[in-house]
Structures are given as structure tokens and as C-alpha cells.
Structure 1
Amino acid sequence: MLKFRFLLWALTKLLQRAVKKNAACARYIHEKRLVFQIQTADGTGRHFSIADGKVNSSAGLTPNPSFTMTFRNAQRGFAVLSAKDGTDAFLSALRDQDLVIRGDFIEVMWFQGLTAYLQADKALDPH
């Protein structure tokens, strides 16, 4: 559970750094307004907000996110979110029902685009 919580906190810091150091990433979120959360089935999680060109997060859940990514448990969440091949891990988790997504799927896809800026080999502009 601690690894999962730490990973969610670290995700915020990594996204903040990407926005600060990568002009393409900053442009990607420039006019975006979004609140979403990543959690486990038992309700442990973190909610994230993107607004005014910034990424922030807080521990706990929010009542009206645009989308929610719910992992079966913290171990599966950590494994999927920290996988080297994130796309395959993400799709496998969906297929195996280790991950359930609720809400606006278009926003989920937008978020997947944002996470592409975290990949070292696509650091300049993944799009």
C-alpha cells in the first residue's frame, strides 16, 4: 500500500517537473481543466487537478472527478503504473479487470497523452 501511495505522490512531482522543463508538455496542459483520481477498489487513492498550466494533487478522493482509474488493489496498481511498457500493462490490466475506468474516456486518453511526456525517449515532444 505504501509503494502505491508513494507512486501516486511521485507521479505528481514527475508531471510537475515535465511541465516545468518541457515546453511541449507545458503547451499540452496550458488551457486544460481536469480533475481525476487514481485509486484502489477499497478507496485508497489520490486526486489530481490540472488547471492554469499546473498539475497538483491531494491525498484522498474527490466527489466529482472527470474520470476514475480504479485498480483491484495497491499491488496491481503499483505494478501497472510502474511497468516499463506502460501501454501493454495498462491494456492487460483493463482486459484482466485489474483496472476499471469510469467517467469521460476522452479525458482518459488525454491523460495517457500527458503521461507520454514522462518517457525519457520521448522527452522533447511525443506527439
Structure 2
Amino acid sequence: MKFRFLLWMLGRLMAKASRTNPEFQQQLAGKDLVFQLHTLDGKMARHFIVKDQRIVSKRGVASAPAFALGFKDATYGFATMTAKNKQLAFMQGIQNKEIQIQGNPALVMWFQGLMKYLMPKKKSAAKKAA
């Protein structure tokens, strides 16, 4: 259930960022693709449609995603996507075959780069002192 909510929330955050964040929109420029996050056991899948500098997410499996990230199960997917060091967690998961990449690996790197735009902005030290 946590993983399902995480994927849904990820879709909501990316959709909002695609409407309101110019830096995020710049990362979407020229992209027209579908990607998918799912569990390898087939119990859960969500796909994301990138078109015209916007992202829309839908539940279920996409017919022909440009890339797909498959996690061994929902618990593992949630743990990986919420890990403190996500890059290390992903690399270990790929090495251990607990995460499988289908499609273009360069697009997976692009997707991971998008995540930094979804994190809430930290208040600067100057604002905290005021």
C-alpha cells in the first residue's frame, strides 16, 4: 500500500512541477515518452506520460514504455525510493538483480535527475535567523 501511494504521489508531484517549475519544465523539453515503475511480481504498476513539457500519471502497465524500472516487490520498491542515499540504493538493487531496467538506461538517469526538482526547498540560513 505504501508503494502504491508513493507512486501516486510521485505522479502528483511531477504533474505539479511540470506546470509550475520552470527548471523542471526545462528538463522535459523535447521529451515525448512514456515510462513505467512497477513490481516484478506484476502486482503493481504505474506509468508516466511525458508530452509537451507536462507529466501525467496513470495506474497500470504502459503498452510500450521508453524505459521501465521493476522492483522485486512493493516493500523493496518503497524502501529504495525513500532511502537516504537513493543513488546507492538503486545501484545495489541493480547489482543484486532486485531492480531491473528495461529499455533505455540513459532515460533512467534522466528520470533520477528529475527527482531533485521534487524535493521541498530548504530555507536558507539567512531566512532562519530572521
User: TM-score per shorter chain, which class?
Assistant: 0.7 to 0.9
Paired residues, number: 121
- 2-structure distance, mates of 1:84, 1:29: 25
* TM-score, length basis structure 1: 0.87
Shift of 1:29: 0.8
- Mapping of residues 1-127 of structure 1, within 5 Å: 2-43=1-42, 44-120=44-120
Structure 1 gaps of 5+ residues are 123-127
Q: What is the Cα deviation at residue 121 of structure 1? A: 5.7
DSSP 3-state at the match of 1:13: helix
Greater Rg, structure 1 or structure 2?
A: 2
Task: Show CA shifts across 1:29-77 (max 9, x none).
Answer: 1331110110001212101111011111111001211111011001000
Task: Tell me the distance in 1 between the aligned counterparts of 2:87 and 2:94.
Answer: 11
- CA deviation string 1:73-118 (max 9, x = no partner): 0100010111122111111111221101010112112111112212
**CA RMSD for the aligned pairs?**
1.6
Closer/same/farther in 2, CA of residues 121 and 87 from structure 1, 3 Å limit: farther
TM-score by length of 2: 0.85
| Counterpart in the other structure of 2:126 | none
Q: 1: distance between equivalents of 2:94 and 2:112?
A: 14
Judge which range, 112-121 or 69-78, deviates more.
112-121
Extract unaligned runs of 5+ from structure 2: 123-130
Any idea what SS the aligned residue of 2:41 has?
coil
Contact 2:80/2:86, CA 8 A, preserved across alignment = yes
